[in-house]
Each structure stands twice: as C-alpha cells, then as structure tokens.
C-alpha cells in the first residue's frame, strides 16, 4: 500500500461511510483517518435502516455530510446468492437508489457508490474493461445482486446529466483480508476455504469438499488496497464513468485451494463437488483507468495478503478459545 499521509482535502470534510463497521467499511474509515479526515459518521443498521427513506433522511439530517461513501450491502458467496436472490436484489437496490437520491436532495457535495464485479456479463472478454459492462447478462447465481448495484451507475449518469450531481461508481473485484466474514453460510471463497482447511486440520479430517471443478479464475484485492482506491477516488475522480478496482492478478480456484491448504498446513485430499456451480468462468480486470484517473495501483502481493488473512483467522480462533475457557 502507498504511504498513508494526511491530505488537506479531508481536513474540513464531513463524511458518511455506510457499511463503515463492516469488512470494507472499517478499512475505508481507517484510511480516511490516516488521510486527515476527522468527522466520519458510521450509521448502524439498528438506528438507520437504509432500506427506508425515513431512515436515510434522518441519517443525512443527523450527519450533514459533504461526502457519502456508500459501502453498505447485503453480500455473500454463491450459496447465499442462490438461496436469497430476492433479498439481495431488493435490499441492495433500495439502499443505493434512495440514498443517492436523498443525498442529491440534501445538497451532498459528492456521492461515492461502491458497486461490484458481479455486475459484469457472465462472458466478458479478459481482462474486463469498463466499456464491456453492458455487453451481456451477469452470471446467473449473483445476477440479482450485481444488477441491483449496477443501477447506481445508471442513476449516477442520469443525476449528473439532469442535476449536475457529482457521483462516481467504483467496481471492486473480490475482496479478502483480516476482518473478513468467515461464516460458512455467507462467506466468500477465500475465508470459506481458510475455515475449511483449518477446521479439517484441527479435527483430523482427511479431505475437504470444494464447490465446482476448480477451473474458474478469480482476481482478488487486499481490503486495505481497496480502501485506498476508494479514498483516492473520492479525492480525485469526478466523472460518472465506472472504474475497476483490482490487483490485475488472476488465479484459478484450484491453485487457490492448493495455496491455502499449503499455508494452513492441511495435507489431506481435495474433493471437487461438480454438482455445485462454478460461478463466472473467469475474472480479471483491466485496472488502467484507476491508475490513470486517480493514481491507484494495488500494492499488496497476493501471497502476503493471504498469509495475513490466515494469521488473522488463527488468532481470532485462539482468542475465542481463550475467552470460552475463562468464562
């Protein structure tokens, strides 16, 4: 990651970070503070249910933000997307569309919408270029989520054209890192695999079962790198054209499983459940626009980020065990 230094841009800014207590949002809040932002408001769901207009208006009245960074979302892996497609569509759409609209009405200076790589068509030429975003339907297992987030891009263009509202739309690739969600019911591929391998090693299991056949590829970005990209875009980028946020590093799921098994010390058999979906066949981004427009390039090597994520999970498990013993 680039050196984190204070920037006068943030010295007098009031910023709302939705999802600011979550995985990505926590990293964004930390990076904002490192850049010199003092007034950061993080709405919590029990106080501000962002699916409702009344809660959004109350949030904007309470926080009076200059900038809104919308990082909140209902997210999950393939299984969660398959079992809750309506919820993923409705909740994400209602949060985003109403929040952007009410931010414009409230006179917010800038709106930063965090989209998703799931918005891209299922069969997108590699590397994914922002110009290809509308050339097909997203991969079926996460299309409701991807399309709900994608509507923020449409809205950004429309509100800039009609009202001159300054909003931007960023497309982060798959995130990973310390603080990720390791719940097997809703986690993404890296935390799910780490948990499987660690648990199998702990219990003496001789094999783990992984969805699909291992052939799909994915690109991942370390969460702190993604936070840096979002903050730099908030500072420097003022157009509605979408921007990819990624590392430009591609790895097959098979290679990923093998690397996680090696780093966690699991030496058992890997069984592929081909009755389960693979998801999108390939994911690798063209990240040149982010570097050109606001000087972002991911810095964390994948192996280093993966080791830090595993270390975080092992420490969290040890802390939970210690706490249960002391009770």
C-alpha 89/C-alpha 119 separation (Å) is 12
> Strand 207-211 to strand 250-252: parallel, antiparallel, or no bridges (unpaired)?
unpaired
C-alpha 228/C-alpha 35 separation (Å) is 10
Query: Of the residues 48, 145, 176, 313, which is catalytic?
Result: 145
Residue 307 structure tokens: 């080791």
Known catalytic residue at 176: no
Report DSSP letters for 58-81, one per residue. HHHHHH--SEEEE-------HHHH
- Alpha helices by DSSP H, listed for the chain, are 23-34, 53-63, 78-83, 85-105, 143-163, 189-203, 223-236, 253-264, 288-294, 302-326
Question: Of how many residues is the chain composed?
Answer: 327
Largest CA distance in the chain: 62
Active site residues: 145
């Amino acid at each position: 990651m680039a050196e984190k230094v204070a920037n006068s841009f943030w010295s007098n800014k009031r910023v709302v970070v939705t999802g600011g207590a979550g995985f990505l949002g926590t990293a964004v809040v930390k990076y904002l503070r490192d850049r010199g932002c003092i007034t950061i408001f993080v709405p919590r769901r029990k106080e501000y249910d962002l699916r409702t207009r009344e809660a959004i208006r109350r949030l904007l009245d309470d926080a009076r933000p200059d900038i809104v960074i919308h990082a909140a979302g209902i997210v999950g892996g393939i299984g969660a997307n398959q079992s809750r497609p309506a919820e993923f569509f409705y909740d994400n759409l209602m949060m985003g569309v109403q929040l952007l609209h009410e931010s414009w009405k409230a006179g917010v200076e800038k709106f930063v919408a965090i989209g998703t790589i799931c918005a891209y068509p299922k069969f997108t030429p590699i590397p994914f270029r922002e110009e290809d975003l509308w050339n097909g339907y997203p991969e079926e297992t996460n299309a409701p989520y991807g399309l709900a987030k994608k509507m923020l891009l449409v809205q950004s263009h429309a509100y800039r054209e009609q009202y001159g509202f300054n909003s931007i739309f960023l497309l982060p690739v798959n995130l990973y890192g310390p603080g990720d969600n390791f719940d097997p019911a809703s986690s993404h591929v890296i935390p799910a695999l780490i948990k499987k391998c660690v648990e199998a090693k702990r219990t003496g299991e001789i094999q783990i079962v992984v969805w699909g056949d291992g052939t799909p590829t994915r690109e991942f970005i370390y969460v702190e790198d993604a936070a840096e990209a979002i903050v730099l875009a908030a500072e420097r980028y003022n157009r509605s054209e979408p921007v990819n946020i990624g590392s430009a590093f591609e790895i097959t799921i098979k290679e990923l499983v093998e690397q996680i098994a090696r780093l966690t010390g699991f030496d058992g058999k890997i069984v592929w459940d081909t009755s389960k979906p693979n998801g999108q066949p390939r994911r690798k981004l063209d990240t040149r626009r982010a570097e050109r427009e606001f000087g972002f390039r991911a810095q964390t090597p994948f192996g280093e980020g993966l080791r830090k994520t595993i270390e975080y999970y092992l420490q969290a498990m040890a802390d939970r065990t210690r706490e249960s013993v002391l009770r």
